[in-house]
Amino acid sequence: MKKVSGLITSLILASALMQGCATNQQLNKSSDTLYKEGESFYQRGRYEEAIAQWKKVKESYQSPELITQAELQIADAYFLNGDYIEAATAYEDFRKLHPSHDKAGFALFRQAMSYYKQINSIDTDQTPVKNALTIFESYLKLYPTGEQLGEVQEKIRDCRDKQLQYEIYVGRFYLKTGAYKSAIGRFEEALKAYPDLARRDEVLYYLGRSYLEDGQKSKGREVFGKLSSEFPGSAFITDANKAMDSFF
């Protein structure tokens, strides 16, 4: 029994020694080796493992240049892994630490895209739309000739359209529930805030409907007249005519 016990003890000690050696080997890896290992994981789509290696690069304090690269790569890995909340934070941190870096513009674009990727349906929290639009607009101001300019302009139009869709959604809810004055206010503000968007005819239709339902027939007629003159080919004109027939 003593021999068996001694053998077990020896095996445990040997195992601990081997683990200690392995740990020391990990600790003694250069930042360049750790970075390359992270890059290998990244290329194979193993983003979480890549992030783990690049975090070790940051913790090594061996190479400021590699640490900067690792910071951006970590953000990219989060983004490609679909971890958009973490990606947005990582890109923002990178820009704060390296505002004059030649990749600062790209980081700002990707930060905006991280918010954009969090956008869901119109009937959910619109904070990601607001955040994405704010950052995209910041990109336009800071990098008016930036590499991502075309896509940023496209995304700004899309975010504004989503915001208008939300205003229509809320206004229609007010209209449906009989809160006509709230509906009128919402649609009027939408016309002022988004004068250049394609859904203006839809807003005019629901605004006219809201006025009619609120008993303001002359205002409803005026708005529908505007709809017909500004958008003669609109699909909402037929519905507007039907609404007019039901109230006059």
Owner of token pair 């020896």: 10
DSSP state of 194: -
- On the CB side of 166, CA atoms within 13 Å amount to 19
| Of residues 136, 59, 28, 47, the one with CA closest to residue 86 | 47
Average pLDDT of the residues in 37-59: 97
Q: In this prediction, what percent of the chain has a pLDDT beyond 90?
A: 84
The range of the structural domain enclosing residue 198 comes to 178-248
Q: What is the pLDDT of residue 60?
A: 86
CATH number of the domain encompassing residue 192 = 1.25.40.10
Q: How many structural domains does the chain have?
A: 1
What pLDDT was estimated at residue 27?
A: 54
Q: How far apart are the C-alpha atoms of 220 and 16, rounded to whole Å?
A: 83
Is 230 within the bounds of a domain? yes
Residue 244, helix vs strand vs coil? helix
In angstroms, the CA 125 to CA 141 distance is 27
Task: Report the C-alpha gap between 230 and 200 in whole angstroms.
Answer: 10
Does residue 243 sit within a domain?
yes
Split at pLDDT 50, 70, 90, the class of 224 is very high
Mean pLDDT throughout 64-71?
95
Residue 186 lies in a domain: yes
pLDDT > 60? residue 4: no
For residues 4-20, average pLDDT:
48
pLDDT tens for each residue of 106-165: 999 999 999 999 999 999 999 999 999 999 999 999 999 999 999 999 999 999 999 999
Residue 2: pLDDT over 80: no
Signed CA dihedral, 39, 40, 41, 44: sign only: positive
**235: its two tokens:** 């699909």
Q: pLDDT at position 15, please?
A: 52
pTM confidence score: 0.85
Sign of CA dihedral 51, 54, 55, 56: positive
Cα dist from 230 to 145, 154, 191, 221, whole Å? 35, 25, 13, 14
Average pLDDT over residues 185-203: 96
On whether residue 125 sits in a domain, the answer given is no
